[in-house]
Amino acid sequence: MFTDEFFGNDDQRAVLRRGRSMAALLGSDKRYSYYGRTVGLPEPEDGDIDQLAALAKVQGNAAYGAVPLNQIDAIKTALQSRGLVPMHYDKWQGARSAIEAARLVVATLSLPEDVKMLRLDASTPGHIMASLAEMALGCGVLPPCGEVLRGLYRPAVCLVALDIASKVISCAASSAYAHEEHVRHGEQAWWGMLATDPARRGQRLSLILGANALLEMETRFGFGDFMTGVEPGNAPSEAVCTRMGLSRADVAIIGCADPHALASGRMTK
């Protein structure tokens, strides 16, 4: 029922579909990562540049999740030489500090009275998923595939805020990232997809949803370490990460896109 629930434009849906199929093939191999968009490599030690490039050319997009800062330029140059478009994100992460910050947010901030929080699952109707996709995409954020958002494929939590008309006005999500047996990243969860309808910004909706999503990942699935990617210089996202107890790591996320599959050169904001 949910195996073809992909969002975005034609290119994005095709990339997400290939990513989900690749996850079905490689999901049992601890060298690979997947949180609902495309299969990647947690770090260069898990696969060389040719393997990353192959993943990108087959799916349309792929990423290293943890690249030492002194290797960034060489990896970007190598990807460009293979006809790919590289993208650099600062990696922000936090463990106990993130959980403590999320607890503080939940204890001190509340959603407005006209807003209801909903966790997506198998019973969530299609019109809610469509409303989520419309709002998130309008903010430049590409939702992962529906199976992950609903928590049906990996340990994952996606929370949305609904207004009185049951329209999605904000969202946040978290998902298992690497294989559970990966020596360095198996206990770390991806956290992100924070987006809010422009008409409802300033009410800290995504911050509240993000804090609740992080805490649910801890209580439901035992995750105590969280990471996300932020484009360098994105001050609003950096401020949210800081508020959530995350700090900039000494490694970066290096993604790459096949311009033949993604004309924009990027998957999401």
Task: Check which CATH number belongs to the domain holding 64 and give it.
Answer: 3.40.630.30
DSSP string, 170-232: EEEEEEE-B-TT-TTTTTEEEEEEEEE-GGGTTS-HHHHHHHHHHHHHHHHH---EEEEEE-T
**Both structure tokens of 47:** 């696969």
Specify if 248 maps to a domain.
yes
Q: pTM for the full model?
A: 0.96
Q: Does the residue 163 lie in any domain? A: yes
Going by their DSSP bridges, the two strands 168-176 and 188-196 should be labelled as antiparallel
Count of domains forming the chain: 1
4 within a domain of the structure (yes/no): no
Domain-embedded: residue 192: yes
Query: Helix, strand or coil for residue 95?
Result: coil
pLDDT tens-place string over residues 13-56: 999 999 999 999 999 999 999 999 999 999 999 999 999 999 99
The 10s digit of each residue's pLDDT in 87-142 is 999 999 999 999 999 999 999 999 999 999 999 999 999 999 999 999 999 999 99
Q: Is residue 57 part of a domain?
A: yes
- Judge whether 2 lies within some domain: no
Within-domain flag for 263: no
Residue 240 in tokens: 């949210």
Host domain of residue 248: 10-257
Question: How many beta carbons lie within 10 A of that of residue 137, not counting itself?
Answer: 18
Other C-beta atoms lying within 10 Å of the C-beta of residue 28: 10
Look-up of token digits 């393997």? 51
